[in-house]
Structure 1
Amino acid sequence: MLKLVVLISGGGSNLRALLEAASDAEYPARVVAIGADRDAEGFEHAEAFGIPTFTVPFSSFPDRESWGDEMLRQITRWGADLVVLSGFMRLFPPRVVAALSPNMINTHPAYLPEFPGAHGVRDALAAGVTQTGASVIVVDNGVDSGPILARERIPVHPTDTESVLHDRVKLVERRLLVQTVLDIANGTLDLTEKTLA
């Protein structure tokens, strides 16, 4: 059974999808803890599913390195096989990435390497593209630059607003994340080989 620690910063919609998948006895992964860098709305999902939580507020530390060290301590104490960033909006210091790599994955609301960064959906709309996508990647020290594990194209409609398109992207993002974790747990996706979509 693959043990997951999921990190969130907001509402945790991808987290909810993972918790629902993991509630099926046949799904070979379980969320053992949920962490955040702030008091996140997504902790409501943790409470609903009876999952322990931890918070490591960025503002409580003098620098990113000491914050990252405490985050790593919290993650490590749960014995996670895989760390899932689910709307987690902080970049880890390189030594934390090195300690967890390649067993740390993230979702992104664009067809990477297109539109990396915090505003993938907004940037796609601003660029006037006819399609964007969703991706799951291995976290590295760049911004959404790690090896791509899964990705899928999503059409952009002329009437799309940022929120409408983002909602459609999130549906695919959740499905890709649940499937990617399943593939890792089943051994059909080897993170050490950094399989590209």
Structure 2
Amino acid sequence: MAVFASGTGSNFQALVDAFQAGPAQYEGDIVLLVCDKPQAYVVKRAEAAGVPVACFTPKSYLSREQYEEDVLLKLREERIDWIVLAGYMRLVTPVLLSAYGGRMLNIHPSLLPAFPGLNAVKQALDYGVCVTGVTVHLVDEGVDTGQVLAQRVVLVEKNDTEETLAARIHAAEHELYPAAVADVVAGKLSPSRL
């Protein structure tokens, strides 16, 4: 697996912890971090975990497609079977989608189809919902529109702020994502089995 991340990498860390030292159900190896921000903290996490890092700077490419063609070359070189997006803040183009359709996962901080895109926690609070959560889904050409694979509910408390709700959502992500990824990779969870 290759994990794609752009930020601090808390979901990357949860995945690495589960797959490197977790129970036997976590079959598979995270063999690469792909990062579009070379200064992101996730790079330090990967180095500490002994996971090789491939950093690409999108602004040095003429197009998103050209950027992804270089990424795809690296994925093929490393013989990557699965892509796991973990806080990767770029829209994926058909270059990667055509090569990894049905083998690219993402986690989103809401119960999709509710509150797709950016600022999902703020969207949930602004709307006034009583529950929100996290969703693991396949990546397709839309924004958070791929087939749902797993979800976990997170209750919205009366005095929640964006920060307090986000903290509970992150905790749910860190539990759900590694388990869902392990089940998908092992063939125990697929869209056809929902």
Q: What TM-score, normalized by structure 1, do the two folds share? A: 0.92
- Residue 116 in structure 1 maps to residue 113 in structure 2: no
Partner of 2:181: 181
Does the 8 Å contact 1:133/1:151 carry over to 2?
yes
- Residue 169 in structure 1 maps to residue 169 in structure 2: yes
1:86-120 CA-partner distances (Å, limit 9, x unpaired) = 00000111232121111000000000000000111
**Given residue 21 of structure 1, which amino acid in structure 2 is its aligned partner?**
A
Partner of 2:74: 74
1:17 CA displacement: 0.6
Aligned-residue RMSD, C-alpha: 1.3
Q: What TM-score, normalized by structure 2, do the two folds share? A: 0.94
Deviates more, 1:72-81 or 1:125-134: 72-81
1:24 CA displacement: 2.2
Partner of 1:141: 141
- Residue 160 in structure 1 maps to residue 157 in structure 2: no
1:64 CA displacement: 1.2
The share of aligned pairs that are identical, in percent, is 36
How many residues are treated as equivalent by the alignment?
191
**How many angstroms apart in 1 are the aligned matches of 2:21 and 2:6?**
25
1:47-100 CA-partner distances (Å, limit 9, x unpaired) = 111110011111111111111211222222211121100000001112321211
Q: Would you tell me which structure has more strand in proportion to its own residues?
A: 1
SS in 2 for 1:29: coil
Partner of 1:19: 16
**How many angstroms apart in 2 are the aligned matches of 1:56 and 1:86?**
16
Change (3 A) 1:96 1:186: closer
1:168-194 CA-partner distances (Å, limit 9, x unpaired) = 001111211111122123321136x3x
Which residues of structure 1 form unaligned runs of 5+?
A: none
**Given residue 23 of structure 1, which amino acid in structure 2 is its aligned partner?**
Q
Greater than 6 Å deviation, 4+ residue runs: none
Does the 8 Å contact 2:138/2:148 carry over to 1?
yes
1:157 CA displacement: 0.9
**How many angstroms apart in 2 are the aligned matches of 1:126 and 1:67?**
36
1:1-52 CA-partner distances (Å, limit 9, x unpaired) = xxx1000000110110111111227231211010111122111111111110
Does the 8 Å contact 2:112/2:135 carry over to 1?
yes
